[in-house]
Structure 1
Amino acid sequence: MDAMLVIALVFTLLILVFIVKGLMIVQQSEAVVIERLGSYNKTLTPGVNWVIPFIDKPRSIKVRRYQAIGGENVAIVQEETRIDRRETVLDFPGQSVITADNVSVTVNGALYFQVIDPERAVYQTENLIQAIEILAKTSLRSEMGKMELDKLFESRQEINDKLQLVMDEAGNKWGVKVTRVEIQDILIPTEVEDAMRKQMAAERERRALVLRASGEREAAIAKAEGEKRSSILVAEGSKEAAILMAEGQRKAIDEVLSAGDDRLDPQLVIGYLLGLEYLKTLPDIGKEGDRIFLPFEASSVLGAVGSIEALLKGPGK
């Protein structure tokens, strides 16, 4: 009886050990690929899972990471049985890239990815992180090698979008979703940087000269336009003044002729009016000096004034 009890206890203990040994707790955002006798069996999801001890084993995945050792990023390959399904950033070190115009630059990039299918991530590539990194580097060299240095700085987003398309297409095979690719730094040689700085200074000077010349041209055009409009206005004013003066003289001639009852010669009337205007200017002429010299023709003009006045007064007036 005691032997049977001991056997039962041992058997119960073995069952408990077997059950406990088969329990596996998977954390949230993790996954574990299980193989049974060397073949894929299932993928464990977050929570409490049970596998058959000694028969079901988790398949490890190789992960390549970078660690700062002695001031340098050193690649370290690790094997892990738990696959992290969170978005992960791969900050691969700077690499040399030759542009289309044969300029060697150093580019630092960052790649963000997420494991979507743990089974493919384990079985489709020997080292997932290394495969992603090498593909990112080669794709980066290919895309940047098609561009010249000047266009390289203004086309970062274009390069990022093209790299993401290439990486996402390859990542589908590996069970990985590449969310985005970012170019962090583009380092150029010192002599090229100095040449670009001089080129930019010359370009700014050229633009300043163009703007200054354009401003002077517009100012000259505006000045000429103003002078043109001023000349037009002066000419129009002179024209209107001449018309008004002529109208006034015509009315004066008509009034004098009407007052003379058609006994006056029009030429004599014109001389009369000119004489009146001449007499009006004499006071102003006298202000300019003590002596006044009158032209000989003034006597005839003044005589016309006297003749017209005598005719207008009539005999006996």
Structure 2
Amino acid sequence: MESFISPGLVLSLVFVVIGIFIIAKGLVIVRQSEVMVIERLGSFNRVLESGVNIIIPFIERPRPITMIRYVRMGEDYHPVTSDEIRIDRRETVMDFPGQPVVTTDNVTVKINGALYYQIIDPRRAVYEVANMSQAVEVLAKTTLRSVVGKMELDKLFESRSEVNNAIQAEMEEPASKWGVKLTRVEVQDISMPEEVEEAMRLQMAAERKRRATVTEAEGEKSAAIAMAQGQRESAILNAQGDKESAILRAQGEQESIRLVLSAMGDSEDNKQTVIGYLLGQSYIKALPTMAKDGERVFVPYESSALLGSMGMFRELAGSPDDAVRQSLRRDGLRGGLVGSAADA
């Protein structure tokens, strides 16, 4: 018995196969943090979010986006271009190779940078620019040259954060038109010519030597100031001591005179006698100082009167009053010295 397949069954199988193919082609699973831009008959239709999505085969198709990534091979970086239908919305880093940049002081440096960006509008990233990643890279390089070209070499090393912020600020507006958000820009390495590095090393050595010299000079200055302050305080204390000693000595002499006058009486003649004694005593004390300046001492005529007054005072002071004797001893007057002066 001959077996045959009916045309209806064959047609059903064909439709089943076509249905399975359509379902397989139209069923799209989008992973988390990814999106797909769908075109219908060549025009933008919608953006597929994460999850299970269905498209119409042969009528709807995803629009790919061109991405450039650098792969390190040895010591150099080589760009790798790929067309991707799934657009990653996570933060992406672009580590572009070193770029030669000329500073304001005409020094050529090679700067290697890293750019962190995120696609926030997939439609703009696909339709507003032909090659989004290449456009961002070229924009970063040109902005880097523009910002660094306004700075000197020393300023460049001191303010990397300012360079990063300036590059990011200048790139934000054009990048936003492409649906890209710049999160961070980092200047990684700065390479200089060997002669420039040698000059900088010499400059740093000279700067350290200068700082050491300044520090040593400041130390010597502080020591000199401290020594001067110590000498000044010592002089002040010595002067205060001399002042107090002179005051006490004057008070003692005043008390001695007061005791002598009280013992001799307060008459005018006694006062003149005491005054003559004091003048004679001062003259005798000054004689050693006068003798230091030469081998001979010339005694003036008036000195005999002073010495006579001292002899007279000795006779008047011969009373047995103990207070007067103590006053005379305290003033350093010896009976023999007064007597010899009076005889002279």
Q: TM-score range by the shorter chain?
A: 0.7 to 0.9
Structure 1 window deviating more from structure 2 (218-227 vs 121-130): it is: 218-227
Residue 182 (1) aligns with residue 186 (2): yes
Gaps of 5+ in 1: 277-296
Residue 309 (1) aligns with residue 313 (2): no
SS at match of 1:125: coil
Asked if structure 2 preserves the Cα contact closer than 8 Å seen for 1:62 and 1:78, the reply is yes
Structure 1 window deviating more from structure 2 (198-207 vs 180-189): it is: 198-207
Asked if structure 2 preserves the Cα contact closer than 8 Å seen for 1:272 and 1:308, the reply is no
- 1:142 maps to which residue? 146
Deviations 1:124-145 (A, max 9, x none): 1111111111110010011101
Q: Distance in 2 between matches of 1:183 and 1:69?
A: 21
Alpha-carbon shift at residue 93 of structure 1 (Å): 0.5
Q: Distance in 1 between matches of 2:241 and 2:68?
A: 92
Asked if structure 2 preserves the Cα contact closer than 8 Å seen for 1:260 and 1:312, the reply is no
Q: Distance in 2 between matches of 1:270 and 1:218?
A: 54
AA at the equivalent of 2:318? E
Alpha-carbon shift at residue 304 of structure 1 (Å): 4.6
For these two proteins, the number of residue pairs brought into alignment is 295
Residue 49 (1) aligns with residue 57 (2): no
AA at the equivalent of 1:82? R
Residue 265 (1) aligns with residue 270 (2): yes
Deviations 1:64-105 (A, max 9, x none): 111123542111111111111110000000111111111011
SS at match of 1:238: helix
Gaps of 5+ in 2: 282-303, 323-344
AA at the equivalent of 2:68? R
SS at match of 2:77: strand
AA at the equivalent of 1:100? T
Q: Distance in 2 between matches of 1:71 and 1:212?
A: 47
Q: Distance in 1 between matches of 2:141 and 2:216?
A: 47
SS at match of 2:110: strand
Q: Distance in 1 between matches of 2:82 and 2:23?
A: 30
Residue 234 (1) aligns with residue 243 (2): no
Map 1:1-317 → 2, pairs under 5 A: 2-262=6-266, 265-266=270-271, 268-269=273-274, 304-305=313-314, 307-310=316-319, 312=321
Identical pairs, percent: 55
Alpha-carbon shift at residue 12 of structure 1 (Å): 3.8
Distance verdict in 2 for CA 1:70–1:216, change over 3 Å: closer
SS at match of 1:92: strand
Query: TM-score normalized by structure 2?
Result: 0.78
SS at match of 2:181: strand
Asked if structure 2 preserves the Cα contact closer than 8 Å seen for 1:272 and 1:305, the reply is no
Q: Distance in 1 between matches of 2:200 and 2:11?
A: 87
Q: CA RMSD in A?
A: 2.8
Deviations 1:229-256 (A, max 9, x none): 2222212221121111111111122122
Q: Distance in 1 between matches of 2:199 and 2:234?
A: 52
SS at match of 1:111: strand
Query: TM-score normalized by structure 1?
Result: 0.84
Alpha-carbon shift at residue 157 of structure 1 (Å): 0.7
Deviations 1:47-72 (A, max 9, x none): 00000011101111111111123542
Deviations 1:165-184 (A, max 9, x none): 12221111111111000000
Asked if structure 1 preserves the Cα contact closer than 8 Å seen for 2:264 and 2:270, the reply is no
Distance verdict in 2 for CA 1:134–1:111, change over 3 Å: same
SS at match of 2:96: coil
AA at the equivalent of 2:317? I
SS at match of 1:100: coil
